[in-house]
Structure 1
Amino acid sequence: MTEERTDLERQLRDIQKWEKAQQRVMFWQTFTRLPFQLLDKLTPQFIQRKIGLILDETGTFIQSGGYLTSEKRIMKKFQKRLPHGTCQTLHDIRNAPLAVMDEIAEGIARTSVKAATVQGAATGVGGVFTLAADIPAMLGLSLKTLQDIAVAYGFDPKDKKERVFIVKLLQLASSDVIGKKAILQDLRQYDQNDRAYQRVASQIQGWREVVYSYRDTFAAKKLLQMVPAAGIIFGASANRSALESIAETGIMLYKKRRILKRMKDTE
């Protein structure tokens, strides 16, 4: 371990401040479901069926252990920043300095945000019709981003425990203030005992409810994307904002878990 306990405690306090900030209500959250109620009425049935099919396929893929990240690619990033031969496995990543973990995770976030922005602009061209394709595509990119960040902090996305954690991060990023408080409370003791993990896992009753909760986070931001041409600007902006929030959530809470594990090791 490369950090002093006082430094770990300071960084933990910064993350706890971020958690408190997440629990402040924004006035627009009251209206988040309204645009998609309108979208459901305007979207032709064949597009709605296509959305449902893609979401079901994505859910089955993730629940069965979908692995969208490349551990080797992220490992090479660590190898460039650490002494030769000191980073060969995921276990080695766990012992890397937090500063290096942060640098790589933030780089992953920047790359994903750029990809989401381009994707939002592309799917904004056709208004409501291409919006139907944007939601599943953004879901896949969000999952990949969170899996990459997990690896950057030394956690294995192939582990069912991490798949559950990633789903909860998606829920946290897309929840209203009441939901954020409950999820943060659930995740507070996630690594402390098996009961905490089992409680969180039991709350995920179905992938579709997670997807639709995630979908609603786009609502207020995506309404104007339904206008052809103008949707290019609003689609890019909405996707960038959504991915920034998801990546920030992943970095903060995966970093928190790594800090808590290191503090425990010093006891």
Structure 2
Amino acid sequence: MAVEEAQGRLVAALDEALHKLYDSLWLDPLLVKSDLEKRGIFFRSWDALFAVPLPLLDAQAKSYLDHEKALNALRGVGLGTGGALLMLPDLEELVRSAILLIQKISLTYGFDPSNEAGRKEIWRVLALTLTGEDLLAGDPLSVSARLFEKSREKISENMGLTPLLRFIAKKIVWRFVKRRVIQVVPLFGSAVAGFANYRFIEEIGTKAQSYYRSKHLSCREAVEREGESGRPEGEG
């Protein structure tokens, strides 16, 4: 019972933190634009990325994911030495990293989440990545695509912000309480925390990439069809 009460308090605290993050945690799109330009990808509007070779965008998304995995693994090792007392700030930092990573991936594939609908989609994607199974053997992107189809049944596009953030808080706390109970023993907890953070970001990032990559391909195909329909007959 004591464990359940502590878990409930942690969910409530994280839920409150998520509401604060929702209003403040937004990335300047120009940072991603600058990173893409370093790869030789120059554009004026985000939908212009639908004409960029997909492997270039995949490489940029992977670069963001690899960076966040390494960063959060190190952060987890540090916070893990503090035991359960530091679990809440660790979870807040993980959510912060996950949301920024999802924004970077979204922008990389041509979707600017600057308006309210785009912002909510970022958090909905985070919720989607928290449902279903862990990464399985085989191609992670194809596995994630299958999981997303199942996840859509649980996370409605019309779900309100309050229940959405509550859902995220519950899922994250359940996952880390389950995987990091050993964190109460500091010497072991640091190693467990580092690995758990790495796996968390890996799973979130890979599934988010699957989501936006699939959305990108749909838009790319639509643009190509539109171009073909507007082409004068006889032109190849």
Q: How does the TM-score come out when normalised to structure 2? A: 0.77
How many residue pairs match? The answer is: 211
Q: How does 1:1-267 map to 2 (within 5 A)?
A: 39-41=3-5, 48=9, 52-53=12-13, 55-62=15-22, 64=23, 66-82=24-40, 86-176=42-132, 182-184=150-152, 200-202=157-159, 205-206=162-163, 207-267=165-225
Q: CA deviation at 1:222?
A: 1.5
CA distance change for structure 1 residues 153 and 147 in 2, over 3 Å: closer, same or farther?
same
Identity, in percent, stands at 16
Residues 75 and 89, structure 1, Cα contact 8 Å, conserved in 2 = no
* C-alpha distance in structure 1 between counterparts of 2:94 and 2:72, whole Å: 7
Q: Deviations over 1:21-65 (max 9, x none)?
A: xxxxxxxxxxxxxxxx7645568x9xx47x745641431441x4x
Match of 1:23 in 2: none
Residues 157 and 163, structure 1, Cα contact 8 Å, conserved in 2 = yes
CA distance change for structure 1 residues 39 and 95 in 2, over 3 Å: closer, same or farther?
farther
CA distance change for structure 1 residues 163 and 203 in 2, over 3 Å: closer, same or farther?
same
Q: Which runs of no fewer than 5 residues in structure 2 stay unpaired?
A: 134-146, 226-236
Q: How does the TM-score come out when normalised to structure 1? A: 0.69
Residues 218 and 242, structure 1, Cα contact 8 Å, conserved in 2 = no
CA distance change for structure 1 residues 264 and 143 in 2, over 3 Å: closer, same or farther?
same
RMSD: 2.8
Q: CA deviation at 1:122?
A: 1.0
* C-alpha distance in structure 2 between counterparts of 1:132 and 1:164, whole Å: 23
* C-alpha distance in structure 1 between counterparts of 2:17 and 2:86, whole Å: 19
